[in-house]
Structure 1
Amino acid sequence: MPRVLLIEDHEGLRESLELNFKQKGWDVVSTSSGEEALKLLEEEKVDVAVIDKKLPDISGISLIERVRAFDDIPVIIITAYGNVEDAVNAMKKGAWDFIEKPFEPEFLINRVERALREVSLRKKKEIEEEPEIVGRSPSIVKAKELALKVAPADTTVLLLGESGTGKELFAHLIHKRSKRRDGPFVIIKCAAIPETLLESELFGIEKGTATGVEGRVGKFEVADGGTVFLDEIGDLPLPLQAKLLRVIEEKSFERVGGRRRIKVDVRIIAATNKDLEEEIKKGNFREDLYFRISTFPIHIPPLRERREDIPVLAEHFLKKYSAAMRKKIKGIRREAMKILMEYPWPGNVRELENVIERAVILAEGNYIEKEEIILPAGERKEEIIPLKELIKKVEREAILHAIELCGGDKEKAAEMLGITLRTLYNKLKEVEDGS
């Protein structure tokens, strides 16, 4: 049932509108005070707010941004003192509509219905577009619940978990459910960028800093109005930690070689697979920065601690890669699933996804067989495989791994393996043919 917040100080009009709204089957939360409305919003979830412009304690116009901060609620302003300037001002503040009194109740109801439809469509679109966190185990459900609770706030979030647990997926989910959802989502992999380039990558560089140097905008400027995801923040060098702290505290920075302070409005989500408290003791991480980024920590469990999610994750990846490769694979054999359930998954969900992707490539029938589950040497407890078959499997694994390492560049992969490009294509054809 849709819920409407009505803020109107005229008792007769408030009661009349409340009655009309309830006759439409809507749940109504009403008050005559702006401050009281803000208190209600902390406890009640509403879909649309109808606000009188002139309230006894606070202006309805100044209330728009504060109300919209709660899950981006559409706000309809009603007023007996309207003019073009007020309407423009209200729209700039984020009002969904501006209606002058007197009006027929049916007219306002029509506008509220349109706002509710827009909210419904937006939420449906967000659900379709947002990253899917797969799993039913209590630990992953709890992590997702925390992510959804913190998403509407602008709080800095710290995602804690081993490599491959899905920290980037969680960061993307938080961004998609935040009021910054329409802004950029910028990923910075602190461990992947050379230290000498990291500062200019983050904060940009002024033109003419050195001979022949062109000016460049950094990731933080690109992310203005959106979210910055700092992956593996534990690998950020100490000098840059100080600069990042300043960005968080002052929302501004200088480009490399520049003096002009650049203002930015970004939300920061950080992630690490390190124990930052231990890193602080070792002198590798700033304590003041840690306190700033750990306002809202979320622990993402490793796959070995949520084994009940392995079958559902495996089926999820099976559908994904079967569709991508246009194969009609119906499922995973019990013996193959047993292997997946017994493996410790040091690479977590990412490793499971890679294993299923390879299995789909190798699959010859309608089901994934145990022979198509390729794990690192020494992890499979099974019968001795004939040498010829074993060589073929190792060969397949090496080729697929090389292509993955080279980002899909087959020419580079062939060079890495010490074979010709033609040989690589022949081997890939053998893999696809199942020979």
Structure 2
Amino acid sequence: MCSLERAVPKVVVIDSDTAVSQHIDRLFGNTFTVIPYTRAALASDFVRDQKPDVVVLSLDLSTIDPLELVDLLSVGSTSAPIVAMSANPVADLVVAAMHRGASDVIRSPCPDRELRRAVMRALVRTVGPISPNLPYPVPSIVGMSPLITRLRSDIQRIAGASAPVVVTGESGVGKELVATALHELSPRVNCRLVARNCGAIPDALFEAEMFGTERGAFTDARSRPGAFELADGGTLFLDEIGELSLASQVKLLRAIESGVFYRVGGVSPQRSSARLVVATNRDLSKEVANRAFRSDLYYRINVLPLNVPPLRDRSEDIPLLVRHFQSLLARTERLSVMPTFSHDAITRLSSCEWPGNTRELKNVVWRSMLLASGPRITAADLRFDDRVGGIESSTELPVVAAVPTAVSPHR
């Protein structure tokens, strides 16, 4: 069976009082390396040298503005997720800390369970799951809205199962992120997640792509495994399954039902224990009614359905998504200075319909940041796609939801 070796995760705790770092050290035992640091004014250089997987930072520091320190720690290619703690985490402080780069803001002191979950949420963003049995939430799905909270709960509930999953939702909502979360939170995490886009596979190559080929099966054919073999023990993610022709659907159904398949040109039966996760932006039940999708395949795969809501139905998540996409771009482009979005810019972004969903929002955030002429992006500075983006909603949408004690965006 496949395995994955990882170094012991490193957590740097920045606080004038070492009691917090000692508590974290006791809480996680030998699982992590916990390094206390009390010299807040030099903390950014220390973190840069240590390259931790997570930073736990007190927002109650008196020798330096802790929000400025959040700014310094959240920029650069080596930035680590920041779990901020405060004895008085009022809403304004929470929003400011998260806007500047903190991934979580929690009360200090807090219950052990809450502290453990906050650190685990941050760790999953950098090193992946530490153990498939730990009850941490889903970091790759950003948001605090009821719809996203319910989706994360459903993902956690079914991640450990082996039954097929059908992920539905409009284009751009993040269906592949859901498939990734299902894999990373499952006991299959040490094996491969193999993804294939069914819409990009011609009928003539479907069997070769899914089941592999033997040398000499056709001109220039080499012996190679297909997606089912590569995903053995792990997860096979088939995106846009609704694009498969009826002929390819028959071949897929046969392999799923029997658990046996043959490489093209092969005579030896092959088996795969991969879990099947499929995604589509189509209504497969309507496709079945229209005879465009086989009913037997539909009922075989539609065991555990998950629907990813469109962005227009969870506009309260947009401020967190903007912050997340900012951090992604800062790491990708190694930005030394990360432009911030003004309140009116966030309000404008939150009032749009977003037909392209989170994918379109990400493009607008990145485009606006890369073309920004200054350190602050206002509503007038937003760079929409003139053809489809920036469509204002006809109804007034909430901008920022009430901020709880602990907040968690994703990877």
**TM bin (shorter chain):** 0.5 to 0.7
2:172 corresponds, among 145, 164, 172, to 164
Indicate how the Cα distance of structure 1 residues 282 and 183 shifts in structure 2: closer, same or farther if over 3 A, else same. same
Partner of 1:370: 379
Taking structure 1 as the reference length, the TM-score comes to 0.57
Deviation at 1:122, TM superposition (A): 9.5
1:333 corresponds, among 323, 326, 342, to 342
For 1:242-291, what per-residue CA distance to the aligned partner results, in whole angstroms no more than 9, with x for missing partners?
22222222211111233321111110011110000111112111111111
Deviation at 1:310, TM superposition (A): 1.0
Partner of 1:108: none
Of 368-377 and 135-144, the range deviating more from structure 2: 368-377
Cα separation, 2, equivalents of 1:294 and 1:198:
21
Note the 1:252-401 alignment, pairs <5 A.
252-325=260-333, 326-329=335-338, 331-377=340-386
Name the amino acid aligned to 2:360. Answer: E
Q: Is the 8 A contact 2:141 2:178 kept in 1?
A: yes
Of 134-143 and 198-207, the range deviating more from structure 2: 198-207
How many pairs align? 264
Q: Is the 8 A contact 2:364 2:385 kept in 1?
A: no
Name the amino acid aligned to 1:376. Answer: D
Which structure: larger Rg?
1
Deviation at 1:181, TM superposition (A): 0.6
2:213 corresponds, among 200, 205, 213, to 205
Cα separation, 1, equivalents of 2:297 and 2:202:
21
Partner of 1:246: 254
Name the amino acid aligned to 1:353. Answer: K
Partner of 2:200: 192
Aligned-residue identity in percent: 41
Of 217-226 and 201-210, the range deviating more from structure 2: 201-210
| Greater relative CO (CA pairs within 8 A, separation 6+) | 2
Q: Is the 8 A contact 1:329 1:365 kept in 2?
A: no
Cα separation, 2, equivalents of 1:208 and 1:360:
52
Partner of 2:229: 221
Structure 1 segments (4+ residues) deviating >3 Å? 121-128, 378-382
Taking structure 2 as the reference length, the TM-score comes to 0.60
SS of 2:166 mapped into structure 1: strand
More helix by share: 1
Note the 1:109-120 alignment, pairs <5 A.
none
Q: 5+ residue gaps in structure 1?
A: 1-120, 383-435
2:148 corresponds, among 140, 149, 171, to 140
Cα separation, 1, equivalents of 2:252 and 2:373:
51
Coordinate RMSD, CA, aligned: 2.5
Cα separation, 2, equivalents of 1:127 and 1:135:
15
SS of 1:191 mapped into structure 2: helix
Structure 1 position 180 matched with structure 2 position 184 = no
Cα separation, 1, equivalents of 2:125 and 2:313:
27
For 1:206-234, what per-residue CA distance to the aligned partner results, in whole angstroms no more than 9, with x for missing partners?
22122332222111111111100011111
Name the amino acid aligned to 1:338. Answer: T
Q: Is the 8 A contact 1:363 1:369 kept in 2?
A: no
